[in-house]
């Protein structure tokens, strides 16, 4: 299987590059602990991929906003720090006069006490031209000129922003995983400490959850549905829980699942996944799967894995 690359994430206004400078730099949070990223760079360089990474970090991402509205956006961000605790604003030549828009946005933020962190993404002309050719997108400055000429003009227009960027990343030969690591490294304390885990109990007769990354089957365990006094109870009740966990192999199976996750969670996180979804299924999704989902969540939390959320899909059907 080939490694994900920035090329696969490119649109007509994307971009990324190796970190410029060193150290954490100046204070990058506002008085209310807000963090604002200005994400700029060359079209086709990976900004779309980077914006998705910021979305995974719960940033509000604003892309392709007309330059005339940026000052209003700055005021909105400052006046609602709870809603806009983390914001990433994509700002490039689509805004019109990119440098004027950048300085207006930066000035509006800094005038209100927020020092934005500026990321600039770039790549070689050869890589950018290949990406535009492969994706069949048109460079935003290509009207009346070749892609090569459009890129040369864009570099000149964006050079003042690049010169003031806190982080410059060259995505010419950069896998998506490495882009993620470089961005996270420069966010410092703002990067995620752990990968969220989501456990979904489900019934096979209703289908496997489409979002599941891993699926574990509990149908080898005796079904409480066929025990008259347990049938109408769900796996959230003590009698059903005790019955299921007392069945041969139940505890051992949970231990094996936990071992798989002890290996898998760090590996998935290192590969760049922002969330891991685990499906645990039984026939109807009301007894065995619920018990094991709840017990697995408890064990993971006790082992220090956080955050762990549990959802019981079939309980919502009744």
Per-residue pLDDT of 268-315, as tens digits, reads 887 767 788 999 999 999 999 999 999 999 999 999 888 898 999 998
Among the residue ranges 29-38, 135-144, 157-166, 251-260, the one predicted with the least confidence is 29-38
Residues 271 and 307 in one domain: yes
Q: Which pair of structure tokens corresponds to residue 206?
A: 């209703």
Strand pairing class (276-282; 197-203): parallel
Length of the chain (residues): 318
Per-residue pLDDT of 149-201, as tens digits, reads 999 999 999 999 999 999 999 998 888 777 887 888 788 655 555 678 999 99
Residues 182 and 280 in one domain: no
Nearest to 316 by CA among 200, 208, 229: 200
Geometric angle at alpha carbon 10, from 171 and 126, rounded to 5°: 55
Does 222 reside within a domain? yes
Q: How many domains does the chain have?
A: 2
Q: What is the DSSP letter of 175?
A: B
Residues 185 and 203 in one domain: no
pLDDT of 67 above 80: no
CA atoms within 13 A on the CB side of 282: 26
> Max CA-CA distance within the chain?
77
For residue 119, what is the enclosing H or E element?
Answer: strand 117-122
Q: What is the CA radius of gyration of the chain?
A: 24
Give the distance from CA 215 to its chain's centroid. Answer: 22
Residues 172 and 95 in one domain: yes
Q: Which has more pLDDT, 77 or 7?
A: 77
Q: Which residue has the tokens 């892309």?
A: 63
Report percent pLDDT > 70 for the chain.
86
Name, in order, each residue with C-beta under 8 angstroms of 198's C-beta and a sequence gap of 6 or more: 211, 275, 276, 277, 278, 308, 309, 310, 311
Residues 213 and 180 in one domain: no
Q: Check which CATH number belongs to the domain holding 118 and give it.
A: 3.40.50.300
Last residue of a domain, one of 190, 213, 229: 190
**Distance between CA atoms of residues 318 and 259, nearest Å:** 34
Q: Which residue has the tokens 């994509």?
A: 90
CB count, 10 Å around CB of 212? 18
Does 250 reside within a domain? yes
CA atoms within 13 A on the CB side of 132: 24
Residues 24 and 143 in one domain: yes
**Distance between CA atoms of residues 27 and 232, nearest Å:** 58
Query: Positive or negative, the Cα torsion across 139, 145, 148, 150?
Result: negative
Tell me what the pLDDT averaged over the chain comes to. Answer: 84
Does 1 reside within a domain? no
SS3 25: coil
Does 29 reside within a domain? yes
Confidence band (pLDDT; 50, 70, 90) for 6? low
pLDDT for 155 equals: 93
Q: Which pair of structure tokens corresponds to residue 201?
A: 């109990």
Does 58 reside within a domain? yes
Does 10 reside within a domain? yes
Residues 242 and 291 in one domain: yes
Last residue of a domain, one of 190, 211, 234: 190
Residues 223 and 154 in one domain: no
Range 226-235 average pLDDT = 94
Q: What is the DSSP letter of 273?
A: -
Write out the residue range of the structural domain in which residue 15 sits: 6-190
Residues 31 and 139 in one domain: yes
Last residue of a domain, one of 165, 190, 215: 190
Q: Which pair of structure tokens corresponds to residue 74?
A: 């700055």
Residues 106 and 10 in one domain: yes
pTM for this structure?
0.61
Residues 183 and 280 in one domain: no
């Amino acid at each position: 299987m080939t490694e994900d690359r920035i090329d696969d994430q490119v649109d007509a206004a994307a971009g990324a590059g190796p970190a410029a400078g060193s150290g954490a730099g100046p204070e990058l949070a506002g008085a209310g602990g807000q963090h604002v990223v200005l994400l700029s760079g060359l079209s086709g360089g990976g900004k779309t991929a980077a914006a998705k990474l910021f979305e995974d970090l719960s940033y509000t991402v604003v892309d392709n906003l007309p330059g005339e509205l940026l000052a209003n956006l700055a005021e909105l961000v400052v006046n609602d720090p709870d809603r806009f605790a983390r914001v990433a604003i994509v700002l490039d030549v689509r805004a019109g006069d990119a440098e004027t828009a950048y300085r207006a946005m930066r000035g509006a933020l800094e005038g209100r006490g927020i020092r934005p962190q500026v990321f600039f993404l770039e790549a070689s002309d050869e890589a950018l031209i290949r990406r535009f050719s492969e994706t069949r997108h048109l460079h935003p400055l290509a009207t009346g000129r070749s892609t090569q000429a459009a890129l040369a003009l864009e570099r000149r227009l964006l050079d003042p922003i690049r010169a003031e960027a806190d982080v410059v990343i060259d995505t010419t030969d950069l896998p998506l995983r490495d882009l993620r690591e470089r961005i996270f490294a420069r966010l410092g304390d703002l990067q995620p400490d752990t990968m969220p885990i989501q456990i979904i109990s489900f019934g096979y007769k209703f289908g496997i959850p489409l979002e599941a990354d891993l699926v574990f089957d509990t149908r080898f365990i005796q079904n409480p549905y066929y025990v008259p006094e347990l049938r109408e109870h769900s796996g959230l009740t003590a009698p059903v829980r005790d019955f299921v966990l007392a069945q041969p192999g139940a505890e051992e199976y949970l231990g094996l699942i936990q071992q798989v996750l002890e290996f898998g969670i760090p590996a998935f996180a290192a590969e760049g996944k922002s969330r891991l979804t685990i499906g645990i299924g039984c026939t109807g999704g009301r007894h065995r799967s619920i018990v094991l989902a709840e017990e697995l969540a408890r064990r993971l939390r006790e082992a220090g894995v956080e955050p762990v959320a549990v959802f019981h899909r079939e309980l919502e059907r009744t």
